[in-house]
Amino acid sequence: MELLPVISAAAAEAVALYLITKCRCVLAPDIHKAGQPRIPKIGGLGLIIAIPFLWLLWNPVSRVAVAFFSVPLVMGVVGLLDDIYSINEYVRVAVSLGYPVALYAVDLMPRMIYVPLIGRFSDALLVGAITVASYLIFSNAVNMFDVVNGVVPFSMSLIPLSSLVYGVVADNEIAVYLSIASLAASLVLFVFNAYPAKLFNGNGGTHVLGAILSGLFLYTGASTFVLIAALPYIVNGILIIFSSRGIKGRDKLSRPTKVVNGLVYPNEDSRGVLTLVKSIVMDGPRDEWGIIKAIYALFLASFALSLLTIYLWRLI
């Protein structure tokens, strides 16, 4: 197990994030806190600095490494530029989707995918469709759920544990390395983004973590277990897309919740938009920390379900 890339990446990311919190640049208000303090929203920069260490000090030329690390890097840079300069939505989508498509077209991505419980697929068209759909779905699903402090890096510290367990059980060294690399990068970000956050992930951070989640799904061989560990993201995405009748920008959706005296309630006037956070406060109003604890509990439960699924997979 190569620990040098992981340790150097974690150290570089920690230093970068510490400097960002000190420089107090590119600020955004934390709307759930009293007085709405302004904190930096470029946490994605820390991940963008960590990825080259994880990639180049491990295996710079293998297809899996190129696909797993270069896509988050490109998506992260685009997201970071969006955080700083608010780039055009079409340019952002074109680069984020175009890059994995181009990489696949020039044969720099693996053309085989193993889906535990279903089977192994090597048809170029089918694998290409799954690859592109995976990047599209996971990066949007992660972005849609970045609504309270710490939730995204917390979940991304749990989900790789699922592929890590699979990697150990199946004796898959690549899965083990990619899981530990993802876990380390997410844990460092979690230290800074945990409630009360010292910085936001920003679009840069959520796009990197969404692409890493896709990479864990596609290249570790643990796709089924990663999907189950990430179920809160998927369920939240399904609820938003079905209830708003299609894919719409956050600014075009009416707020599913309302804040009264620091407590979050379901918004009865939200014209039917449904989210996982709304389903949490449907059982009773909660403050921000209460919502965060509920989301942590959901990810812990989905992680336990992914372990149960690994057990089922071993049985059949």
Partner 1 sequence: MRTSLSLLAFSWATLVVVLLLLRFMNEELGGYIPLLVAGLALIFLWAAGVYRLAKSLEERMMRKVPR
Q: How many residues bind partner 1 (CB under 8 A)?
A: 37
Count Cβ atoms below 10 Å from residue 42 Cβ, excluding itself.
26
- CA distances, 75 to each of 9, 44, 103, 147, 314 (Å): 18, 10, 13, 20, 35
Contact call for residue 126 and partner 1 (CB under 8 A): yes
Count Cβ atoms below 10 Å from residue 84 Cβ, excluding itself.
16
Give the pair of three-digit tokens for residue 280: 């949490």
Applying CB under 8 A, the span of 1-9, 170-178, 191-199, 236-244 interacting with partner 1 comes to 236-244
Contact pick of 180, 280, 292, 310 for partner 1 (by CB under 8 A): 280
Give the pair of three-digit tokens for residue 148: 């309270």
Contact call for residue 297 and partner 1 (CB under 8 A): yes
Contact pick of 20, 48, 142, 228 for partner 1 (by CB under 8 A): 228
In whole angstroms, give the CA distance from residue 291 to residue 293.
5
Contact characters 244-273, partner 1, x per CB under 8 A: ----------------------x-x-----
Count Cβ atoms below 10 Å from residue 248 Cβ, excluding itself.
12
Instruction: Report in angstroms how near the CB of residue 221 gets to partner 1 at its nearest.
Output: 15
Instruction: Report in angstroms how near the CB of residue 89 gets to partner 1 at its nearest.
Output: 25
Q: Strand, coil or helix: what is 285? A: coil
List CB contacts of 20: < 8 A, sequence separation 6 or more: 40, 42, 43, 45, 46, 199
Binding stretches for partner 1 (CB under 8 A)? 115, 117-119, 121, 123, 125-126, 129, 224, 227-228, 231-232, 234-235, 238-239, 242-243, 266, 268, 274, 276, 278-280, 282-283, 294, 297-298, 301-302, 305, 309, 312
